[in-house]
Amino acid sequence: MTTPRSWLAPANDSPFGVHNLPYGVFTAGDRPGQRRIGVRVGDFVLDAGAAARAAGEPSVLLDADSLNPLLAAGRPVWTEVRASLTRWLTEESHREALTPLLLPLAEVELHLPFEVADYVDFYASEHHATNLGRILRPGSEPLTPNWKHLPIGYHGRSGTVVVSGTPVVRPHGQRKAPADAVPSFGPTRRLDIEAEVGFVVGTPSVLGEPVALDAFREHVFGVCLVNDWSARDIQGWEYVPLGPFLGKSFATSVSPWIVPLDALEHARVAPPARDVEPLPYLDDRDGEPWGLDLAMEIRLNGHTVSRPPFASMYWTAAQQLTHMTVNGASLRTGDLFASGTVSGPDVETRGALIELTWNGENPLKLPDGTTRAFLENDDEVTITATAPGPDGTVVGFGDVSGRILP
Ligand code: CA
């Protein structure tokens, strides 16, 4: 099938052409303060609710101030809405009515696109988990005995998930280096990033009923980028025995555009070979595995420091969704679960500074002559990604960026 062409000609060569159509929430000067659903097309944002009315097909789901009603509507409605948007943006008959509803991206403010219900963060990169094991537990097996049997995760703090561009205030907390006799209190000295991919749940599930691997597409609406900011000194002192807590919960940034799962069909790849046979509920070898070929990039103050390959992740998002409901825990509309730090096999593909600098031993050299073991105040980190689309197109993700404040 050939990808349809938009009457908005520049969009056709853009990673945000009609093959993508990610959803976000924006405000703009013509109606200040009023949050509206927008769909990114090229370097424009289509006012989706107004477009539906202009097309003679008004939609309460698109006239909302967050994506939650659309998320809750379920897969058949997602398909229908996407088909409508594609039709409006490709059929010449809609051009005149919709053109005034395309706002230049630079003239809108983007907001957190959905109300985050529960937030879970996983740990699915074998390279990342191995590197962290070597750094944090030298002399022992880098992977814990459970790692290849289940996707390890923890429940994070959904109320501190923020949209890209939100400044990150350096957190205070208890820090204790291994050589210190007692902990001290103060701002973290080891502020780090974790480049991750997030999955947004639309359709809820019923308490007590696990979600099977093949139901992934029914529940997951789309994909965004995540920066799981991490205070390594706070984390290192607090994480045994119950896992991450205040070293993570101060902020988690997400990209403003939710790329529909439907836009990523051409990005699907087989996950890496697993050398331990998974238990049957996690065994995706006979189904449709959900490896995704996202090429990510991390920039520190504009300088590219890493290019993590998401296709290298050991556990897929479908396995993570199944695992987190296998005990009967239910899904809610707006649940967000993140992949875990995406790190590839090579140094320049690692997704966190603690790995890139090997716990600060090999600081990064930046073009301005400075070095970084961890983040300094006023540093800005941006994570981007692209994926293959249909007919040689590229699917773009919105950036997730944040600047560190003292
Ligand atoms: Ca993480």
What CATH fold (topology level) applies to the domain 119-405? Fumarylacetoacetate hydrolase; domain 2 (3.90.850)
> What's the mean pLDDT in 209-216?
97
**Rounded Cα–Cα distance for residues 381 and 351 (Å):** 12
Reference 82, options 28, 22, 13, 17; nearest CA is: 22
The residues annotated with a catalytic role in the active site are 128
**Rounded Cα–Cα distance for residues 98 and 93 (Å):** 10
Centroid of ligand 1 to alpha carbon of 122 (angstroms): 6
Centroid of ligand 1 to alpha carbon of 324 (angstroms): 16
Contact 36, 66 (CB under 8 A): no
- Amino acid 166: pLDDT: 98
Contact 65, 7 (CB under 8 A): no
- Amino acid 288: pLDDT: 86
Distance, first Cα to last Cα, the chain? 52
Picking from 2-6, 263-267, 295-299, 369-373, which range would have the lowest pLDDT averaged per residue?
A: 2-6
Q: What is the mean pLDDT of the chain?
A: 97
**Rounded Cα–Cα distance for residues 129 and 25 (Å):** 34
- Report how far apart, in Å, the C-alpha atoms of 251 and of each of 89, 235, 246, 342 are: 36, 14, 10, 18
Picking from 2-6, 151-155, 262-266, 310-314, which range would have the lowest pLDDT averaged per residue?
A: 2-6
pLDDT of residue 144 exceeding 90: yes
pLDDT of residue 224 exceeding 70: yes
Domain ranges of the chain: 9-111, 119-405
- Amino acid 117: pLDDT: 98
Was domain 9-111 assigned CATH 2.30.30.230?
yes
Centroid of ligand 1 to alpha carbon of 94 (angstroms): 44
- Amino acid 1: pLDDT: 55
Centroid of ligand 1 to alpha carbon of 193 (angstroms): 9
Cα 2 vs. chain centroid, distance in angstroms? 28
pLDDT of residue 14 exceeding 60: yes
Cα 265 vs. chain centroid, distance in angstroms? 17
Instruction: Give the residue ranges of DSSP H helices in 42-183.
Output: 48-54, 68-73, 75-90, 95-98, 126-136
Contacts of 76 (CB under 8 A, 6+ apart): none
Confidence of residue 237 (pLDDT cuts 50, 70, 90): very high
Residues 267-301 pLDDT 10s = 999 999 999 999 999 999 988 889 999 999 999 99
Centroid of ligand 1 to alpha carbon of 50 (angstroms): 38
> Would residue 392 be called left, alpha or beta, if left means φ above 0 and alpha means ψ between -120 and 50 degrees?
left
pLDDT of residue 192 exceeding 70: yes
Q: Which amino acid is at 170?
A: R
> What's the mean pLDDT in 348-370?
97
